[in-house]
Structure 1
């Protein structure tokens, strides 16, 4: 039992980068966490962590041990559940996602999910910033785009399209852009977290738009577009209702790029718990029934 505790302390120290965070999580006090990891290093005869006043970094040996220890702890947890006869998915599920998608879609789907799986608890980490799944102890993240990190695995759960949108009042005042380059003559609302820093992608290449208003929130951009402040570049699921009602209009759809995948992403080095598997299946079903996330073209939303 002691070695399992030592192992758990080490794994969570690597994942959180903090002895104090592990102490709070396990309720054992920071000095105990340090002693347990020191005991594990002594038993293995090698240093697992480089310690400083500000950082905890796994050594080369520590990183190798972490990968195998994480898998071992996952297997033990599953074996204990099976031995107890806990066939239903259970436990705490940590999910990361963009704030807009999380608030409007993921959280909105929770009444049904929590009712269907009463033994699962869900903790969301919603942010438009990149979240390190391992460091944050996240089981699964919902992310758009193509997976590039070989340390992660992904399952496609939906498809998203981004389009240029504006209000009728804005277009009456400033005119309708006919070509992507025409956007250079318009007030474009800039999403500061978009890769490319203002470059909006089109079939013919990126257009580096400008505007007087910059936001780090897609919800904020939608609000600004509805206030007639300019043209926004937004996912169709976020403006599907306004497009159907005619409050907003799509622009330059003949020049739009291909649809982008939305993936459920998880660590390749961890056993995916059953609670995460059923969550991914559930969210895939939610996205399949949601306009703008199920592969429908924006033209079908009008």
Structure 2
């Protein structure tokens, strides 16, 4: 479940891939259910396998904590898998990791970057950083920050096309569309506007670059563009600020009944980092 393949497990345990296959087959026979579907190209997890993994992972973490307590080991340890958007991860988390890893030398960190949805159980992820309201009732979340999206454009674009005064004016502008935004439209305080544009991307970093190049109006988290706003020679200007939608929560999401200690201290650490970040701190 956590490595994604039999061969990766074989390398990790040093037991050979056929032995891994036999162990899984024996486990499935004992349980009377199929946990994994194999093909020549991929390995997929059945719903029964996902449930079994989630409950077994909780049990194994509990055993590890009990063993650590018995040995007097209070320091967090083990492999921590974290999923987050590339922009937030690369620009804010990676730069702070040296301090975290210095404080917790027995913790290994694997960061998985992507703008799409991550199934924590199926992909073996301990913590995911997600914006918006939590919809999956099977998950737990802790709020670590707040994020507000704003409309921005380059001075050159606004000089050529004019500055929109109302969200409906966006229907007559070139909007750089984020293809992964739920609903497709841009939410404002009054309503959601179904924007359109000739340029569409699945990357917020790409959209920011396109806005800096004067290719249209972008709808981005304020923290991503703060360094380009304000003062003489600013490369971007905010538009429709009076109509901006309220900030939305940024959550650390996890699936376990009780978090591994390594994940708990990481969430505490991230909350401190974001509290010191303009545009992400909780008000």
Structure 1 length as normaliser, TM-score? 0.85
8 A contact 2:54–2:121 mirrored in 1: no
CA distance 1:148–1:50, shift in 2 (3 Å)? same
SS in 2 for 1:131: coil
Aligned position for 2:18 = 31
Superposed CA deviations along residues 124-151 of structure 1, whole A, max 9, x for unmatched, are 0011111111122111011101111122
Aligned position for 2:243 = 255
**Alignment of structure 1 residues 149-298 onto 2, 5 Å:** 149-197=136-184, 199-245=185-231, 246-269=234-257, 271-295=258-282
Question: What root-mean-square deviation, in Å, do the aligned CA atoms of Structure 1 and Structure 2 show?
Answer: 2.1
Aligned position for 2:132 = 145
In 2: Cα distance, 1:51 partner to 1:111 partner = 39
In 1: Cα distance, 2:228 partner to 2:150 partner = 13
CA distance 1:16–1:295, shift in 2 (3 Å)? same
CA distance 1:51–1:222, shift in 2 (3 Å)? closer
CA distance 1:188–1:50, shift in 2 (3 Å)? closer
Superposed CA deviations along residues 95-117 of structure 1, whole A, max 9, x for unmatched, are 10001111101111112212222
Superposed CA deviations along residues 229-275 of structure 1, whole A, max 9, x for unmatched, are 11100000101111134332111111111110000000145x31111
Bigger drift between 15-24 and 132-141 goes to 15-24
Q: Which runs of 5+ in 1 are unaligned?
A: 1-11, 297-302
Aligned position for 1:9 = none
Post-superposition offset of 1:24: 4.0
8 A contact 2:147–2:280 mirrored in 1: yes
Task: Give aligned pairs, total.
Answer: 279
Post-superposition offset of 1:222: 0.8
Name whichever structure is richer in helix by fraction.
1
Superposed CA deviations along residues 177-224 of structure 1, whole A, max 9, x for unmatched, are 000011111111111111123x11112221111112111111111111
Structure 2 length as normaliser, TM-score? 0.90
8 A contact 1:50–1:59 mirrored in 2: no
Post-superposition offset of 1:173: 1.4
Aligned position for 1:3 = none
Aligned position for 1:131 = 118
Bigger drift between 26-35 and 155-164 goes to 26-35
